[in-house]
Amino acid sequence: MTPTPWTDDTPHPLVPEETTPPPVADAAEPEGLPPAEAGLAPLPSQAEVKSEDEARQRRRLWAVLLALLLALCGVGFLFSRYVRRPEPLPEMLPVPVEVNYPPHFLFAFYDVNGPLGIALSPSEDRLYVTEGEGDRLVKIFDTEGNLLRAFAPPRTTAAERAPVYVAVDARGRVYVTDRLQHAIFVYDAEGNYLDTILGPDLTLSEYIAKHTGFKPRPGTFAYDWFEEEVHYQDPQGRRRTLPRPDRPTWAPLGVAFDAQGRLLVTDVALGAHRVLVFSPQVAAQDDWSDFQPEVWSFGEFGEAEDQLQFPNMVVVDALGRFVVSDGNNGRLSVWDAQGVWQMLVGTGGGGGGLNLPRGLALDARQRLHVVDAVGQVVRVYDFSEAQPEFLFAFGTAGTLSGQFHYPNDIAIASDGRLYITDRANDRVQVWSY
Amino acid sequence: MRKWLWLLPVFLSGALLLNLAGTAWANGGPHGGYTPTTDACAGCHRAHTAQGPNLLTATSTYELCMSCHGAAGTGADTNVADGKFVAARSPSTEGEANTADNGDLLGGGFVNYKTAAVTSIHNSDGTLMAAWGFGVARGQTANLPSSLTCASCHDPHGSPNYRILREQIAGNAVTVDQVDEGPANKDYDDEHWPDNVSNVCVACHGAYHVTRPNSAEDNSDNGSGNADYGGDISTYAHRVGMNYAYGGNADPEATGYGGYFLPLTASKNVACQTCHLPHGTSASMSTLATAPFTNDSALLRLDNRGVCEVCHQK
C-alpha cells in the first residue's frame, strides 16, 4: 500500500481538520422563536452574558484571594507563634500522635533551686515543684513557667525541711513527702497547709483531736520534727501545746495516686524499703482527724529480684500492675495487683538499661517515662502489653537546652507535654510530643 | 583430751575465715562488696557511652554524690548536705543501727549543720582549694595537686578504711585503721575512730601534724618544710594524738564543759577531728575569733573558741 503524500492542500493526517463553527443566531432577535409576551423570558444578550461571566470570575477571584488571605493569616499566626516559642507541629495543631518518636524540647523555666519532685494539678493548669536546695520550698507555676506562689511546712526553716516528691489528689490537694520531717505534708491547691500524715495510721489533726477532744481547724496547728511540742489553737483561739507524738518509724519518699484514688507511698525506713498502698479513703476524706485507712505493703530491703533498695516512685499501669523505680538496684520492679513480684525491667546495658531510676510517669498510651538521674536521660518503655518493651530514650548530659544534669522527676499532661525537673541545672524542662 | 588439741588451730582458723567473710569491704550500699557478676558498676559508669572522666555517666563528681546523699536522701540515709542521718529506725532493726533519727553526722554538713546554715566547709565541688599546712601558711593560695571533690578523700568503690576513706590522698599514703563496725555497731553519729584517724587530714595539712611537744622533728609536713612556722612547729601549733588528760585536762567526751562535748579516738586521744568537722560547720564566730580571717569558722565544731574551753576550761 502506497501512502498518500501530504501537501499543503490536504489536511495533515495527525492534525484534526478544522471545523467551521455553526452560525450563531442573533440572541437579541431570535428567529422562529415566540415573542416574550408568550410567557418565556427573553434570552440575555451577549453583553449581559459576558458581564455575568466577568462577575462570576470576579467573585471566584475574590473567593480565592480571601482563601489565600486566610491561609496567609494562618501561616503567619503559626509562624509568629513558632518564632515566639518554637513548638513541634503536633502541639500547634491538635494532631493525634500515634507513632513512637522521641519528644522535642520546648523551653525551660528557672525559678527553682535544685528541683526534685513535680506534679500537675487535676486541671493541668498548674505545676507543683519541690526544691532540694535554697529555701527548699514547694513552688506553684503555670504551665508556661510563671511562678505563682510558694509554700513550706509551718514552723520550719530551710534547714529543717527536705521536700522531695509531690502528688495531687483528684480534689487538687497537694501531698509532699519530707525526708527530714519524716512525714507527708498536705496542702490545699493554693498551698495553704491542711494536715500532716505522721505515719501510716496517724495524722497531726488526729493526734490533737485525740488529746484535746476537739477537731482542730486547718491552719491552727503545726508540728516541726525538731521541736518537742505540737502547737495548736483551742476553740477559743488560745495558743496551746502538746508533747510531741512518738517518732514515726517510716521514711516516706515517693508519693503518687493511682486511677482508683489510692495513695501510694514508697517507704525507705532503715531495713524496710517497701511500697505502702493506702485505700482510696485517704483521698476521699474531707479531713483526716479520724485517720484509719486500710494500708497494705509489699517489698523489703535488699538486692534480690523481689527486693528493693531506695524505691523512689511507684505507678500503677492499665493492667493493674505496680511499677516501682528501684533506685539503687538500677531497675524497674513490677508487681501484680496483689503485690506479688512479677519481673524486672531495665536491667543490663543498651538503651533500656537503667542507671539510677527515679521519677516515673505513664502517658495515656501506657508508655512509662523513667527519669534516669545518673544516666542523664529519660527512658521510655511500652507497658501496654504483658511484656514491657523499651522504646527510646531522650536527652543527653549537659547544661544546654534539652540536656540534663541529674534530672529527677517527670509529670505528663494529656496534651503530650512533659515537665521534667532538671536538678543540677536548677530548672524545669518542658518537652512535647 | 590432749590428742584433740591439734584441732584447736583448725577451728580458730575456720572461725577467723568465717568472720572475715562477713566483713564488708565498705560501709555498705553501692560502695564496694561487689560480686564477680555485680550490676553495681552500671549505676555510675558506662563503658562506651560515658559523659565524664573515669567512664562516669556525668561530669560533676559532687553532683553525682549529691544525687544520693543530698538533702532529698533519694538514694542514701546519710544526708551530707544537712549532716543528718535520715533513716527512720524501725523497732525490728533497733539493734542493728544505733544512729538516732536525724542524728548529726560525724563529718558535719555541706549546706546545713545542726539545722543551721554552714559557716565554713571543705568545698568539694571541684574548686581548687588552699590546703593550709601543706607547705604554705594559712591564707595563702592553693597548692593542692588537684581540685577537691568528695572522691578526693572517699573511695566510692570502698576501702578498708573507716568510712571508705582513701588509702592515698593528694599523693600521700593514708593509714587509718579499719574499725569493724559491722551491722551491730554501725553508727553514724557516734565516733568509732581509730587512734590514727588524723592521718586523713595530714595527707594535705601535714604541717599541722604535731605529735610531741618541744621538738622540731615532731611534725610530718611531707617534706615541704616549716618555713612558715620558723622551724619548731610544736611551739606554734596545737598537738594531736595525745591523751586528753595530758596537762590535766577534763574529759571532753564524757564530762564536757557547760553542756558542750568533743569526741575522742578509741584510746581517748585527741585527733584533728576532735575540734574540726571535715565536711562543714555552722559554728559562729564573733569579733576576736574571726581575726584575722573574717567570717571564717575554720570548720570548728563549736562557736568561737568553745573547742578550747571544753578541754582547758580556763
* A380 contact B CB<8A: no
pLDDT at B233 (0 to 100): 55
B145 within a domain of the structure (yes/no): yes
Q: Which of B43, B67, B82 is closest, CB to CB, to A330?
A: B43
Judge whether B154 lies within some domain. yes
Q: Give me the phi and psi of B2, to 5 degrees please.
A: -65, -30
Contact A132, A116 (CB under 8 A): yes
Q: How high is the pLDDT of residue A27?
A: 43
Mean pLDDT value of segment B25-29: 47
User: What cell does A236 get?
Assistant: 477559743
Q: Give residue B94's pLDDT band: very low, low, confident or very high (50, 70, 90).
A: very low
Q: Is residue B59 situated within a structural domain?
A: no
Q: What is the pLDDT of residue A20?
A: 47
Which of these ranges, A75-84, A187-196, A411-420, B54-63, has the smallest mean pLDDT?
A75-84
Q: Do A160 and B115 touch (CB under 8 A)?
A: yes
* A 94-123 → B contacts, CB under 8 A: 114, 116
Residue pair A361/A412 in contact (Cβ under 8 Å)? The answer is yes
Whether B37 contacts chain A with CB within 8 A = no
Range B87-98 average pLDDT: 55
Lowest mean pLDDT: which of A119-133, B22-36, B40-54, B269-283? B22-36
Parent domain of B223: 107-314
Q: Which of B270, B263, B262, B269 is nearest to B310 (CA)?
A: B262
> What pLDDT is recorded for position A417?
97
A153: Cβ–Cβ under 8 A, 6 or more apart, which residues?
A161, A178, A181, A185, A193, A196, A222, A224
Residue B94 located in a structural domain? no
Instruction: Kindly state whether A373 is in contact with chain B, defined as any CB-CB distance less than 8 angstroms.
Output: yes
- CA-CA distance, A94 to A158, in Å (whole number)? 43
Residues of B in contact with A274 (CB under 8 A): none
The rounded distance, in Å, linking the Cα atoms of A182 and A265 is 12
- In terms of Cβ atoms closer than 10 Å to its own Cβ (0-12, 13-18, 19+), residue A176 is buried
Q: Is A314 touching B (CB cutoff 8 A)? A: no
Flag the least confident range among A22-36, A75-89, A114-128, A241-255.
A22-36
Q: In what order do the strands lie in the sheet with A221-222?
A: A221-222, A229-233, A239-243
A394 pLDDT more than 60: yes
Out of A97-111, A329-343, B127-141, B205-219, give the one with best mean pLDDT.
A329-343
**A403 chain-B contacts, CB cut-off 8 A:** none
Looking at residue B293, what is its pLDDT? 56
The verdict on residue B314 lying in a domain is yes
Q: Is the pLDDT of residue A42 over 90?
A: no
Q: For a pLDDT cut of 70, what percent of chain A falls above it? A: 86
Q: Is B41 on the interface with A (CB under 8 A)?
A: no
pLDDT class of A77 with cuts at 50, 70, 90: confident
Count of domains for chain B? 1
User: Which of A284-293, B139-148, B241-250 is the most confident on average?
Assistant: A284-293
In a domain, B258, yes or no: yes
* For range B14-26, the mean pLDDT: 35
Contact A327 B91 (CB under 8 A): no
List, for residues A337-356, the tens digit of each pLDDT value. Answer: 999 999 999 998 788 999 99
Instruction: Please report which confidence band the pLDDT of residue B9 belongs to, taking 50, 70 and 90 as the band edges.
Output: very low
Q: Which pLDDT score is estimated for A33?
A: 46
CB contact under 8 A, B70 and A132: yes
B31 falls within a domain: no
Question: Does any CB of chain B come closer than 8 Å to the CB of residue A344?
Answer: no
Q: How far apart are CA A256 and CA A118, in angstroms?
A: 11
- Specify the DSSP class assigned to residue B84: E
Task: Tell me if chain A has a CB within 8 Å of the CB of B118.
Answer: no
pLDDT per residue as tens digits for the range A211-232: 999 999 999 999 999 999 999 9
Q: What is the pLDDT of residue B41?
A: 84
A42-56, A103-117, A369-383, B231-245: least confidently modelled range: B231-245
pLDDT attached to residue A37: 47
The verdict on A271 touching B (C-beta cutoff 8 Å) is yes
- Cβ B74–A253 below 8 Å, yes or no? yes
pLDDT tens profile A244-287: 998 878 999 999 999 999 999 999 998 889 999 999 999 999 99
Give the model's confidence band at B27: pLDDT under 50 very low, under 70 low, under 90 confident, else very high. Answer: very low
